[in-house]
Structures are given as C-alpha cells and as structure tokens.
C-alpha cells in the first residue's frame, strides 16, 4: 500500500501513514494525531486539541440551555407576579403582603364597629322622636363592612402566601438553573 506523507502537528516530524488512516501516533513525540484528508492534501491535528474544542462547544451548549431555562423561569415569574399583584384604589399596583391583609381587616372591622356605635346612637335617638322601627337595620350595616373586610382580608392573605411560596420557588429554581444550587434539593412535588 502506498503511504502518504504528513507532518506531525505537534513536533513537526515527517510521518508516513496509510492513505485511509484516520488516527496516528507520532513515532517521535508520541502525540495522538487525527489525520485530515482533503483531496490530495493531508494534514494532522492534535487529538487533545480537538477534544478541548469539543468540550468547549459542549460547555457552550450547556450554558445556552441554562440561559434559556433562566429566561423561561423569569417569564413564568412575571406572569405569576401579574396574577397575584394587588391593585389599589388609586390604580397603584403592589405585591400582596400578609401585613397588608391583616391591616386591611383590622381597619374594616374597626370601621364596622364605629359605624354600629354611631349609627346605633343616632337611630336610638331618632326612634324616640318617631323614626320607624325599620331604621334599626341601619346600624347593622356595620356588620356588612366587617364581613366584607374579613373576607377580603382572607383572600389577600392567601394571595400573599401564594406569592411568598412562588417567589421562593422561583428564586431556588433560578439559582439551580445557574448552577448555584444542587437541583436535587428542589422537592419533586413542586408544580413545574
Ligand atoms: Zn510528533
């Protein structure tokens, strides 16, 4: 079989290899070489350099995947935030908070009691001056305020709780996607 001449890409030594050879070890420096054939031209390349390039590519693909995962997590979190955020009466948007929920409930309850006290005393005086007995219902509207306040507070509170959980989950997954945290630590029962 006719041999072809190539040069070792590592030490430059002339080597004789079979024309179909794909790999060759340099007899002078022991370098592992890949033989490239392109038409009548033949060259060699160090195997470890190819491996380093491939490893680099694999790493880049891995990084791209991580970035994509992080971007998706960020998008998901934005959607969750929009779902759970609270719209104030003045049009302001805020994050639901447990403190805010409790505060709102207390305000509504206090308002309801104050309403009952004041309206009660006014109606009691009015009834002595001939107001119909149906007016006795008027102070009871305070109870409605209290019920609505408590219901709204509970809703707000559960939103705040979901918000906190979703935020913690998002942050944990983001750290994991960035390789900052071991993904095995993420409980598998969490909704993907
Ligand atoms: Zn060599």
Mean pLDDT of 76-104: 88
CA of 25 to the centre of ligand 1 (A): 8
In a domain, 46, yes or no: yes
Q: How many domains does the chain have?
A: 2
User: Could you tell me if 24 and 33 are in contact, meaning their C-beta atoms sit under 8 angstroms apart?
Assistant: yes
117/33 same-domain check: no
The DSSP secondary-structure symbol of 133 reads G
In a domain, 57, yes or no: no
Q: How far is 80 from 161, CA to CA, in rounded Å?
A: 13
CA of 30 to the centre of ligand 1 (A): 6
CA of 7 to the centre of ligand 1 (A): 8
Give the tens place of pLDDT for each residue, 20-58.
Answer: 889 999 999 999 999 998 888 899 999 999 899 999 999
pTM (global) more than 0.85: no
Rg of the chain over Cα atoms, rounded to whole angstroms, equals 38
90/160 same-domain check: yes
Mean pLDDT of 160-171: 94
Whole-number Cα distances in Å, 28 to 15, 16, 32, 46, 49: 9, 12, 11, 14, 18
Instruction: Tell me what pLDDT residue 192 has.
Output: 44
Instruction: Tell me what pLDDT residue 187 has.
Output: 57
Mean pLDDT for the chain? 89
- pLDDT > 70 in the chain, percent: 94
CA of 117 to the centre of ligand 1 (A): 100
User: Could you tell me if 35 and 24 are in contact, meaning their C-beta atoms sit under 8 angstroms apart?
Assistant: yes
How, if at all, do strands 32-38 and 23-25 pair? antiparallel
In a domain, 72, yes or no: no
pLDDT at 186 over 60: no
In a domain, 178, yes or no: yes
Q: Which two structure tokens, joined as six digits, stand for 183? A: 């993904």
Q: Which two structure tokens, joined as six digits, stand for 28? A: 């002078």
pLDDT at 185 over 90: no
In a domain, 61, yes or no: no
- Comparing 32-46, 85-99, 140-154, the range with the smallest average pLDDT is 85-99
pLDDT at 72 over 60: yes
Q: How far is 27 from 33, CA to CA, in rounded Å?
A: 11
User: Could you tell me if 96 and 160 are in contact, meaning their C-beta atoms sit under 8 angstroms apart?
Assistant: yes
Q: How far is 93 from 87, CA to CA, in rounded Å?
A: 5
CA of 31 to the centre of ligand 1 (A): 5
User: Could you tell me if 127 and 136 are in contact, meaning their C-beta atoms sit under 8 angstroms apart?
Assistant: yes
CA of 34 to the centre of ligand 1 (A): 12
The DSSP secondary-structure symbol of 159 reads H
Q: Which two structure tokens, joined as six digits, stand for 171? A: 């942050």
CA of 12 to the centre of ligand 1 (A): 6
What is the domain range of residue 153?
85-185
CA of 14 to the centre of ligand 1 (A): 8
89/48 same-domain check: no
In a domain, 77, yes or no: no
pLDDT at 191 over 80: no
With H, G, I as helix, E, B as strand and everything else as coil, classify residue 42.
Answer: strand
- pLDDT > 90 in the chain, percent: 63
98/41 same-domain check: no
CA of 104 to the centre of ligand 1 (A): 80
């Amino acid at each position: 079989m006719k041999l072809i001449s190539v040069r070792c890409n590592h030490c430059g030594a002339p080597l004789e290899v079979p024309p179909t050879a794909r790999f060759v070890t340099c007899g002078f420096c022991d370098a592992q070489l890949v033989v490239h054939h392109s038409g009548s031209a033949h060259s060699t390349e160090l195997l470890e350099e190819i491996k380093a390039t491939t490893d680099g590519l694999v790493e880049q693909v891995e990084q791209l995947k991580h970035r994509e995962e992080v971007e998706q997590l960020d998008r998901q979190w934005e959607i969750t935030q929009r779902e759970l955020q609270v719209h104030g009466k003045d049009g302001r948007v805020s994050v639901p908070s447990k403190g805010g929920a409790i505060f709102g409930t207390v305000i509504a309850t206090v308002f309801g009691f104050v309403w009952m006290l004041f309206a009660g005393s006014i109606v009691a005086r009015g009834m002595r001056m001939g107001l119909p007995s149906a007016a006795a219902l008027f102070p009871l509207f305070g109870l409605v305020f209290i019920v609505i306040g408590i219901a709204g507070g509970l809703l707000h509170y559960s939103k705040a709780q979901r918000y906190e959980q979703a935020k913690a989950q998002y942050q944990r997954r983001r750290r994991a996607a960035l390789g900052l945290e071991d993904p095995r630590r993420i409980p598998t029962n969490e909704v993907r």
